[in-house]
Structure 1
Amino acid sequence: MNDVQQRIDDLVKNNRVVLFMKGTAQFPMCGFSGRAIQILKACGASDLKTFNVLEDEGVRQGIKEYANWPTIPQLYIKGEFVGGSDIMMEMYEAGELQALLGAE
């Protein structure tokens, strides 16, 4: 595992909820990242850690390889890859994301 992959792995495993996104929770830099934040807020995710991939090109590319998932944002809960914005919305609408986050 290279240095970038190790950094990503540490973030994923040492934080209960991690969202790799474009921008920040306060200022998302793409619509999909903004939607992901709104979904997580609606679920009451209080222990959310975000990582702005626009500030680190290595992580921006490395996260795509880490989960073998081509797009950003990417959500991880308890060390497991959940998915991107569309999957998060589907899970939210079905009540699955709230259950996974323990918000219900």
Structure 2
Amino acid sequence: MSERDVQAEIHKIVTENPVVLFMKGTPTFPQCGFSAAAIQLLKNCGATVAAVNVLADQDIRQGVKDYANWPTIPQLYVNGEFVGGSDIMKELYANGELQKMIDGTAE
């Protein structure tokens, strides 16, 4: 059985998509309040989000915590950079920084 390189998979996801949210559930059916809040903030900013449901893949769920050295889900990445979780996203949204980040992903 070949060893799965979860870190490489995560790196590929965050570098190939301008806005990535690792979340519990999906954008249309979030499975926790923090993920629901995070996806709503991104929708408010008009972001096109590549959402990854960590509940569907235990390796990714743990791997993304290791990847960012961040213990909680959701996790937002913009242009390949780790931004933070829902609390950080709320602060960035409130001061206009999240919108600037999202606007910076436009082609």
| Structure 2 length-normalised TM | 0.92
Structure 2 residues without counterparts, runs of 5 or longer: none
In structure 1, C-alpha distance between the alignment counterparts of 2:10 and 2:71, rounded to whole Å: 15
Equivalent AA in structure 1 for residue 14 of structure 2: V
In structure 1, C-alpha distance between the alignment counterparts of 2:52 and 2:35, rounded to whole Å: 11
Shift, 1:101, TM fit: 0.6
The size of the alignment, in residue pairs, is: 101
Equivalent AA in structure 2 for residue 60 of structure 1: R
Residue number in structure 2 paired with 1:12: 14
Residue number in structure 2 paired with 1:21: 23
For residues 18-62 of structure 1, give each alpha carbon's deviation from its aligned partner in whole angstroms, at most 9, with x where no partner exists.
0000000000000000000110011110x2100000000000000
Structure-to-structure mapping, 1:76-91, within 5 angstroms: 76-91=77-92
| Structure 1 length-normalised TM | 0.95
Q: CA RMSD in A?
A: 1.0
Equivalent AA in structure 1 for residue 39 of structure 2: I
Equivalent AA in structure 2 for residue 74 of structure 1: Q
Structure-to-structure mapping, 1:1-104, within 5 angstroms: 3-45=5-47, 47-102=48-103
Shift, 1:15, TM fit: 0.3
Structure 1 residues without counterparts, runs of 5 or longer: none
